[in-house]
Amino acid sequence: MDKYPRSRAEVIDLMRHKGVNPTQQRVEIAQVLFAEPQHVSADQVLVMVNKKRSIVSKATVYNTLGLFAKKGLVREVIVDPSRVFYDPTTTPHHHFYNVDTGELMDMAPDSLSLGELPPLPSGTEAEGVDVVIRVRNSAVSC
């Protein structure tokens, strides 16, 4: 899995390496994202960033997460049209999504085997494969 930058300087270096201007607000958002392996929504990032000393607007969080995804700092994991998670682990891996709890969990990289991809449309190439397996809590029988 990815190595997460721990210090502010490491976060800034990573951002610069990916072509992202490290503004104060972007650095604070990145530090929240890279604190640990996690899957967070934009609203969760907003709450976590604003627990600190500064106030970051909702628009800034959404715009910054979009920029981070575009530049490859995080992966967007879309579990349904209204739920997007941001994952700082950018190496290829798949997920379980619990529809009852709303939790997104990493799947062990070697736990899913995919066969060959079908023929791709003419003039295209595969960029990646993201698998999200939706699960729900089992009903406990008496």
pLDDT tens across 117-138, in order?
A: 899 999 999 888 889 999 999 8
Could you give the CA distance from residue 1 to residue 56 in angstroms, rounded to a whole number? 29
At 121 the three-state DSSP class reads coil
- Taking Cα atoms as reference points, which of 126, 95, 100 lies closest to residue 112? 95
Q: Running DSSP on this structure, what letter comes out for residue 128?
A: -
- Taking Cα atoms as reference points, which of 63, 66, 67, 34 lies closest to residue 48? 34
Q: For 58-112, write each residue's pLDDT tens digit.
A: 999 999 999 999 999 999 999 988 899 999 988 888 999 999 999 999 998 788 8
State the alpha helices, DSSP H only, in 8-137.
8-17, 24-33, 42-50, 58-71
Domain 8-87 fold is Arc Repressor Mutant, subunit A (1.10.10)
